[in-house]
Structure 1
Amino acid sequence: MRALVFDGQLSLRQVPAPRLAPGEALIRPHLVGICATDLEITRGYKGFHGVLGHEFVGTVVACEARAWIGQRVVGEINVACHACATCRRGDVTHCPQRTAIGILGRDGALAELLALPIANLHRVPDSVPDQAAVFCEPLAAALEILEQTHVRPSERVAVVGDGKLGLLVAQVLRLTGCAITVVGRHPERWTLLRRQAIDAVDAVTPALQQACDLVIECTGRPGGLATARQLVRPRGRLVLKSTFHGATELDLAGWVVDEVTLIGSRCGPFAAALRVLERGLIETAPLIAATLPLEQAEAAFAAARGALKILVRVAEAPQVTRLPDAAAS
C-alpha cells in the first residue's frame, strides 16, 4: 500500500499493509489532517520514524466485530495496555506502555490502511461530514481545557496563537460565555473570530498586561510562552498546548512569586467533540486552507508550514449499507 513515511526523510512510498490483529480494526482513511505536531516530528520531535498522521476520518473495512465493518469512524490516538496501574486508575493516555498513531511507536493514518484497536474507535454521526469529522482530534484537545480547569463566564481569557488549534480553542472557550481575546499574527484569519464576537489583537496591549485569569498558549513556538506569561495575572492559570522540538527557558522565580498555575494539556474527549460537531457549535470549514490527494502528500507538508489546516485525501468515502448501530457503541 502507499503511505507517507518519515525516516529522516519524508517520502510517499510502498509499504506492507497492516495485518488485522485481535481486538483491532483495519480502517481506510478518507481525509487526514496535518497538524503542528506532524511538522515538528519532521524536525526531530519524539524521534518518530514511520507512517505519519493522527487526525483522520475513515471507514472500517475489516474487523472481528462485524458490526463495525462499513462504519465511518474517527479514532483516539493513544493505544494503551489497559492493565498497568496507570490505566487502572483511568489515565490511559499516560500509559507507560502506550503507543500513539503517527507519533510514538505506531504507524499513522497517511496511508491506504490504518490499524487501530476497536476500543479507540468512535462512530461519526451521519450529519457530520468528513471535512468536519477530521477535526475531531484537535477539537477534543481544545475541549480538554474545560476538563482540566473551570472557566467561569465572568473570567477574562486570552488565547495566544491564531493558528488551527488556537482558533478551535477560542471557539470552544466562547461557549462558556467568558470574555476572550486572541493574540495572533494573521489578521486575515480573524473574520471567523469577529463573526463569533471574539476579540483579536496582534500584540499584548496595556489593558491585557497581567490582566487575564486564564491564558492558553497555542503558538507552537518557544516565544509564545513569553507572550502568554505577559498576559496571565498573579494567581492566574496558564495552559500549555504547544508541542515543539526544542528547549524553552523559564524564569521560574517570577512564576513562583506570582503563584501562577501551569497546566500541561494535550488529548481530550472524542465523544464530546463529536457531539459539539453534530450540534454545529464549532465552525471548521474556515480552518481548511487546501485539500490535496495522497499523491501530493509531500507537497501538502510543505504547504502546511505557516498555513491553516491542510487536508490529505487518501480515499473517497464509500457508499455502504450500514449495519445496526447497537454493537458499535
Structure 2
Amino acid sequence: MRAWVLHGPSSGAVEEVADPVAAPGEVVVDVERVGLCGTDVEFFTGEMAYLADGHAHYPMRLGHEWCGRVSAVGAAVDPSWVGRRVMGDTMLGCGTCRRCTRGAQHVCAARSEVGIRAGRAGALAEQVAVPVASLHRLPDSVDAELGALVEPGGNALRAASATGAGPADRVLVLGPGTIGLLTAMFLRASGAEVHVLGRTPESLDFARSLGFVAAWDEGSLPSVAFDAVVDASNDPRLPALALDLVEPAGRVVCIGLAGVPSTVDTRTVALKDVTLVGILSASPGLDATIAAYASGAVDPRPLVSAVAGLESVGEVLAGQLPVGAGPGPKVHVVPGG
C-alpha cells in the first residue's frame, strides 16, 4: 500500500510499504481521511519531545486524527466489525497497569500512541491496523470530514468541560487554532459567553466569521471578569496570563503545549483559590464528541481549509498550504485520493 513515511527532519515521502495485517485483537481500517496537526509538524521539524526522550524515533508513519471503514479483523475479533465506519483512539494503554484498570489508559506509562509514540504506525496511509478496543463507531450523520475531526474535538470537549462553565459564565480561550476554536464551539454549545484571544488579524477575523464576535488581541482585551480561562496556545507566557485574568475561585485549563517550560506563580493559584486543570488526550471525550457532531450541536467543518493527497503532506507540514486553501487552521488528507 501507499503510505507517507518520515525519515528525519524535513525528510518524508510517499512510499510503497507492506499492507498491515490484523494481529489478534486488532482490525485493519481502510483510511478515508486524516487530519494534520501541530504534533505532526513537530515531528517534521524534529522538535517533538518524544524524539529526545526515546518515546519515538525515525523512520515513522504519522497520522492520529483519522476515520475509515473496517476491512479485516484479526483473531478473537467479532467479524461483524467488517464494513463499519469508525474512528480510533490515539492512546493505547497496556491494559493491565493500575492506570489502565482505573480507566485512565491515556496516561498509561507504557502506552503506545497511533502515529506518535512507541513505533505504532499512523494513518497517513491507505490502511492502518489498530486494536478493536480503540474503535468508536461513526453514525451516518458523521461523515468523513467530521470523523477526522473527532480526535481533536475530544481534546477540546474535555477542555471545555473542565472549565465547568454554563450559561451564567464568561470564558476566555487563549489561542484561536484548531483546539482553541473547537473548545470555543463546545463552550458556546454549553451556553457560556465565549471570548477568544489571538495575535494576528487573520486569526481573529476567522474567529469572528465563526460567530465569536468577542475576539481580541492583548491590546484590545476588555477589562471584564472571566470565570474560566483556557490556554490552547503554544505561547509559554500565556499560562501566567490566564492565571492573572481568571476570577478568584475560577478555573484555568491548560491544553496547549509550548516548546519551552511555562511558569506560573503557585502563590497566586492559592491566594486566588483557582483550580488549575491539565488536559492530555481526547480519550474520555470521544463518544460525547461524536454525539455533538451527529446532533449538530457543534459543527467544526469550517475549520478545514483544504483537502489534499498523500503527495502534499510534506509541503503542508513545511507550512505550504494547497492552492485555494481557505482560512481555517486544519488540512485534511485523503490517502486514497
Residue 243 in structure 1 maps to residue 257 in structure 2: yes
Superposition deviation, residue 80 in structure 1: 1.5
Q: For residue 6 of structure 2, what is the aligned residue in structure 1?
A: 6
Superposition deviation, residue 237 in structure 1: 1.1
Identity across the alignment (%): 34
Distance 2:30 2:319 in 1: 24
Task: Classify 1:5/1:246 alpha carbon distance in 2 versus 1 (closer, same or farther; 3 Å).
Answer: farther
Aligned residue among 46, 49, 56 for 2:50? 46
Distance 1:78 1:31 in 2: 19
Task: Classify 1:91/1:277 alpha carbon distance in 2 versus 1 (closer, same or farther; 3 Å).
Answer: same
Aligned residue among 294, 298, 318 for 1:302? 318
Residue 133 in structure 1 maps to residue 147 in structure 2: yes
Distance 1:162 1:2 in 2: 34
Distance 1:146 1:243 in 2: 17
Tell me, yes or no, if the aligned pair for 2:240 and 2:263 is still in contact at 8 Å.
no
Residue 288 in structure 1 maps to residue 300 in structure 2: no
1:286 alignment partner AA: P
Gaps of 5+ in 2: 322-326
Residue 19 in structure 1 maps to residue 33 in structure 2: no
Q: For residue 36 of structure 1, what is the aligned residue in structure 2?
A: 38
Q: How does 1:1-329 map to 2 (within 5 A)?
A: 1-9=1-9, 10-12=11-13, 13-42=15-44, 43-47=47-51, 48-49=56-57, 50-64=60-74, 65-105=78-118, 106-189=120-203, 190=205, 193=208, 196=211, 198-203=213-218, 205=220, 207-208=222-223, 211-268=225-282, 269-303=285-319, 308-315=329-336
Tell me, yes or no, if the aligned pair for 1:162 and 1:186 is still in contact at 8 Å.
no
1:62 alignment partner AA: A
1:301 alignment partner AA: L
Distance 1:204 1:119 in 2: 48
What secondary structure sits across from 1:222 in the alignment?
coil
Tell me, yes or no, if the aligned pair for 2:72 and 2:82 is still in contact at 8 Å.
yes
Distance 2:37 2:193 in 1: 27
Distance 1:194 1:171 in 2: 13
Task: Classify 1:188/1:286 alpha carbon distance in 2 versus 1 (closer, same or farther; 3 Å).
Answer: farther
CA RMSD of aligned residues (A): 2.3
Distance 1:158 1:146 in 2: 11
Tell me how many residue pairs correspond in the alignment. Answer: 315
1:207 alignment partner AA: P
Task: Classify 1:248/1:255 alpha carbon distance in 2 versus 1 (closer, same or farther; 3 Å).
Answer: same
TM-score relative to the length of structure 2 = 0.85
Superposition deviation, residue 38 in structure 1: 1.8
- Between stretches 197-206 and 85-94, larger displacement belongs to 197-206
Superposition deviation, residue 241 in structure 1: 0.9
Distance 1:40 1:75 in 2: 22
Gaps of 5+ in 1: 317-329
Tell me, yes or no, if the aligned pair for 1:208 and 1:231 is still in contact at 8 Å.
no
1:315 alignment partner AA: G
2:169 alignment partner AA: E
Tell me, yes or no, if the aligned pair for 1:218 and 1:224 is still in contact at 8 Å.
no
Task: Classify 1:80/1:102 alpha carbon distance in 2 versus 1 (closer, same or farther; 3 Å).
Answer: same
Tell me, yes or no, if the aligned pair for 2:309 and 2:334 is still in contact at 8 Å.
yes
Superposition deviation, residue 231 in structure 1: 1.9
Superposition deviation, residue 41 in structure 1: 2.9
Output one character per residue of 1:53-82: Cα deviation in whole Å (capped at 9) or x when no partner: 100111111114221112221111111222
- Between stretches 12-21 and 50-59, larger displacement belongs to 12-21
Q: For residue 319 of structure 1, what is the aligned residue in structure 2?
A: none
What secondary structure sits across from 1:281 in the alignment?
coil
Tell me, yes or no, if the aligned pair for 2:304 and 2:328 is still in contact at 8 Å.
no
What secondary structure sits across from 2:100 in the alignment?
helix
Tell me, yes or no, if the aligned pair for 1:37 and 1:243 is still in contact at 8 Å.
no
Distance 1:194 1:11 in 2: 35
Output one character per residue of 1:231-254: Cα deviation in whole Å (capped at 9) or x when no partner: 212332110111343322333333
1:312 alignment partner AA: V
